[in-house]
Amino acid sequence: MDRCGAKWTHDEIVIALGLYFQIPFGKINQATPEVVRIARLMGRKPSSLSMKMGNIGRLDPTLARRGISGLKNGAKIEEEVWREYVGRREELAEAYSELILGLHGNFPVEDDQQIKTPPGLVGQRLMRYRINQTFFRQSVISAYDYTCCITGIRDPRLLIASHIKPWARCETGEERTIAENGLCLNPLHDRAFDKGPITLDEDLRVVHSPSLRDALSRQPYADHFAKYEGVQIRLPARARPAQRFLRYHRNFVFIH
């Protein structure tokens, strides 16, 4: 029962918005397992939740720039909640997790290896990090449709949401949590991007540092890196990497 046709509340729209960023837009439908699970927690029909998420898509400028549109009809409250969290993705992650916790009694977080938990975080700081970075990971890998943007690997167990501007150097919670500061990579290329041997140019093509060629023997370099140099990454359906973060990576992380 869809709560007897009750109007959608502010908190329910927040849940729909939080979930919207964690599922590839093209896979938002009433049969998507996570849509089904969350809808049941809310006491809503999966079709109703997926429609709300489709309505939210019409407000997303990252989709509009690629000529993708959400559902045309929508309610004013969706616009209000969207505006409430523009530039406040970290706050959205926390609000979403609190609401799911209230419905379910538990909020699943990713393994610390998947979200690269830094040392020294304890208590509330550690939990906040885990919640926000779980949201970041899901937002990034869903934007890339669970595909490494360099190699095309599609196994979720082998995918990492890599920060373009490193987490420790981000100046705001928004920078740490927004998917435009992320790439979906496999562990090898995540490490190479994180430590500076590879970067992306303004056209999102892979650039290698001479140090990478010097450090590897011919065959490992040919097998794992050479064939991707100069190739444009697979573009996400939404949340295209922001140039300001790419410039930071080229200037302060990349080994020239």
| Burial degree of 80 (CB within 10 A; 0-12, 13-18, 19+) | exposed
- Checking if the pLDDT of 155 tops 70, the result is yes
The DSSP annotation for 171-203 comes to SSHHHHH-GGGEEEE-HHHHHHHHHSSEEE-TT
DSSP 8: P
pLDDT tens, 116-134? 888 888 888 888 888 899 9
pLDDT: which is higher, 65 or 184: 184
pTM for this structure? 0.87
Distances (CA, A) of 26 to 60, 96, 132, 144: 14, 22, 24, 11
The DSSP annotation for 215-241 comes to HS-HHHHHHHTGGGTTPBPPPPSS-PP
**What's the mean pLDDT in 220-243?**
92
pLDDT: which is higher, 105 or 134: 134
Token pair for 23:
């599922």
pLDDT tens, 35-91? 999 999 999 999 999 999 999 999 998 888 777 776 777 889 999 999 999 989 999
